[in-house]
């Protein structure tokens, strides 16, 4: 069967492409924005990529067109599919029908931390000989790919609350029917499709209705919104994690790279792993609890965490440059919500101490571009010594408000070249022996990481 995917370079749709190829299908795809790591991953798997949405890409007609949720009416390829009556479906529906049937699905949902927690969980199963399948919205370092079929009934999926397709406005996760469900957190996001937080809570209520009574829900007790959703109706056993939950951490190092795991106030194991930050500590607790549900002892999970290699674009070190006086490290991170920005910066601060941190932010998500989080964005950058913010064309709110919140350490830039020049000027003038440059964006950001490293190396 020939499957053509519209929007193939999105992290989710790229994973669908890999799974379809593994099932033996011929796979091709189109996308308007092609950039690593997804484009590289797809090409390495022999999947044909085509730039843009020319209807000619659909001639000869494929057996099925899988349409990503970034597609809408008016898109020339979408219009061609409808006019010609070509068979089409959504990514989540295709996944449900062709991969998840008869699988033990372990789903990770929440506003933040889905990719990291799903990657941790997949690794815990892999390290303990359960050979899971998975579909994750990133590229886990332990696997090097974002999706695979697996060799056992277990399948780990990142369960996104974003809508399914232009013809199916349910959240993606409604299609997955998990037996094990992690609920990390729940805040307002995706303002382009949800009018308010209550609308997102409703989708989470629908998700809970799909989890069987013999399953397990692992939920963050510190999240009031999740507690409210659970109180509205839950038919599945629930275990909680947080400082006051059933799953807790204690004897925690400053950067959270070491901690002791407790369940019901009883010590279970100790963790010493390469990740940092309170958010990742909580991600690990949730994954340990979910892994226990499929039979992995806590001590085995804790031991396996030592070999977890992280995820591309989640505090990923892109390079280090040593000038005559200073060592500079450049990181890439996907953070695009004030809470994620704050926790990411806090984790880096705990790791590097008083060394300078330059935060570089591209407000690329639809919610950020709409200005929904403008009142809290400045505060989320407080742990940085300097914050350089890209101000894209067409943004429909006054970004000078961030400067007013965060003070003189925050600057707005209309171009990437100017940001690179500002970082280089800092590197030339600083008397510090080390500094850390954290780039945060959920897109390609005009290849700023490589360009910045090249400019620093030429100083």
Residue 207 maps to which CATH number?
A: 3.40.1190.10
> How confident is the model at residue 351, as a pLDDT?
84
Domain boundary among 277, 305, 333: 305
CB 435 within 8 A of CB 326: yes
151 has a pLDDT exceeding 90: yes
> How confident is the model at residue 52, as a pLDDT?
94
Domain boundary among 62, 90, 118: 90
> Is residue 79 domain-shared with residue 121, that is, in the same domain?
no
> How confident is the model at residue 17, as a pLDDT?
95
CB 294 within 8 A of CB 104: yes
Give residue-wise pLDDT tens across range 397-451. 777 777 776 667 888 888 899 999 999 998 888 888 899 999 988 777 888 999 9
> Is residue 153 domain-shared with residue 270, that is, in the same domain?
yes
Work out how many domains the chain is built from and give that number. 3
> Is residue 334 domain-shared with residue 263, that is, in the same domain?
no
Residue 11: pLDDT band with limits 50, 70, 90? confident
Q: What is the CATH number of the domain that holds 82?
A: 3.40.50.720
Residue 368: pLDDT band with limits 50, 70, 90? low
> How confident is the model at residue 362, as a pLDDT?
87
- Computed over every residue of the chain, the mean pLDDT equals 90
> Is residue 32 domain-shared with residue 117, that is, in the same domain?
no
> How confident is the model at residue 402, as a pLDDT?
72
- Taking the C-alpha atoms of residue 459 and residue 456, their distance in angstroms, rounded to an integer, is 5
Please state which of the ranges 6-10, 118-122, 349-353 shows the lowest mean pLDDT.
349-353
Mean pLDDT on 228-236: 96
In a domain, 95, yes or no: no
Mean pLDDT on 36-48: 79
Residue 24: pLDDT band with limits 50, 70, 90? very high
> How confident is the model at residue 446, as a pLDDT?
86
> How confident is the model at residue 295, as a pLDDT?
97
191 has a pLDDT exceeding 70: no
283 has a pLDDT exceeding 90: yes
Residue 240: pLDDT band with limits 50, 70, 90? very high
> Is residue 293 domain-shared with residue 155, that is, in the same domain?
yes
In a domain, 270, yes or no: yes
> Is residue 80 domain-shared with residue 110, that is, in the same domain?
no
> Is residue 67 domain-shared with residue 106, that is, in the same domain?
no
CB 84 within 8 A of CB 61: yes
> Is residue 406 domain-shared with residue 332, that is, in the same domain?
yes
Annotate 201-270 with DSSP letters as a single string.
HHHHHHHHTTS-TTSEEEEETT-HHHHHHHHH---S-EEEESTTSSEEEES--TTSSEEEEEETTEEEEE
Going by C-alpha positions, the residue among 257, 263, 255 that lies closest to residue 291 is 263
> Is residue 250 domain-shared with residue 321, that is, in the same domain?
no
pTM of the model: 0.82
Mean pLDDT on 278-286: 94
239 has a pLDDT exceeding 70: yes
In a domain, 49, yes or no: yes
Domain boundary among 270, 305, 340: 305
Structural domain containing residue 228: 100-305
In a domain, 228, yes or no: yes
> Is residue 414 domain-shared with residue 288, that is, in the same domain?
no
Q: Quick one: what percent of the chain has pLDDT higher than 70?
A: 95
């Amino acid at each position: 069967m020939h499957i053509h995917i519209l929007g193939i370079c999105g992290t989710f749709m790229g994973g669908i492409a890999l799974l379809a190829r593994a099932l033996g299908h011929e796979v091709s795809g189109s996308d308007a924005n092609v950039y690593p790591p997804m484009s590289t991953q797809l090409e390495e798997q022999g999947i044909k990529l085509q730039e843009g949405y020319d209807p000619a890409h659909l001639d000869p007609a494929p057996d099925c067109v899988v349409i990503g949720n970034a597609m809408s009416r008016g898109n020339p390829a979408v219009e061609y599919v409808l006019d010609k009556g070509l068979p089409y479906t959504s990514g989540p529906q295709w996944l449900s029908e062709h991969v998840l049937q008869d699988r033990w699905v372990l789903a990770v949902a929440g506003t933040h931390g889905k990719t990291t927690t799903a990657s941790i969980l997949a690794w815990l199963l892999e390290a303990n000989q359960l050979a899971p399948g998975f579909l994750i919205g990133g590229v886990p370092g332990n696997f090097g790919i974002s999706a695979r079929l697996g060799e056992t009934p277990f399948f780990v999926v990142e369960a996104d609350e974003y809508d399914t397709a232009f013809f199916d406005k349910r959240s993606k996760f409604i299609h997955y029917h998990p037996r094990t469900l992690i609920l990390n957190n729940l805040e307002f996001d995706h303002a382009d499709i949800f009018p308010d937080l209550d609308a997102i809570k409703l989708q989470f209520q629908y998700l809970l209705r799909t989890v069987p009574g013999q399953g397990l829900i692992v939920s963050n007790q510190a999240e009031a919104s999740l507690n409210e959703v659970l109180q509205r109706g839950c038919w599945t056993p629930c275990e909680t994690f947080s400082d006051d939950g059933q799953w807790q951490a204690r004897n925690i190092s400053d950067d959270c790279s070491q901690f002791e795991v407790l369940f019901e106030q009883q010590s279970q194991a100790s963790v010493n792993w390469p990740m940092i930050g309170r958010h990742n500590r909580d991600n690990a607790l949730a994954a340990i609890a979910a892994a226990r549900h499929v039979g992995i002892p806590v001590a085995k999970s804790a031991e396996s965490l030592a070999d977890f290699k992280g995820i591309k674009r989640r505090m990923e070190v892109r390079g280090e440059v040593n000038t005559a006086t200073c060592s500079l490290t450049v990181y890439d991170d996907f953070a695009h919500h004030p809470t994620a920005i704050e926790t990411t910066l806090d984790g880096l601060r705990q790791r590097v101490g008083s060394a300078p941190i330059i935060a570089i932010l591209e407000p690329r998500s639809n919610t950020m571009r709409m200005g929904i989080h403008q009142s809290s964005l400045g505060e989320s950058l407080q742990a940085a010594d300097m914050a350089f913010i890209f101000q894209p064309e067409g943004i429909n709110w006054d970004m000078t408000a961030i400067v007013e919140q965060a003070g003189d350490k925050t600057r707005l830039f209309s171009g990437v070249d100017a940001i690179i020049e500002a970082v280089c000027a800092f590197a030339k003038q600083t008397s510090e022996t080390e500094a850390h440059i954290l780039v945060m964006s959920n897109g390609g950001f005009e290849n700023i990481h490589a360009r910045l490293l090249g400019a620093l190396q030429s100083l």
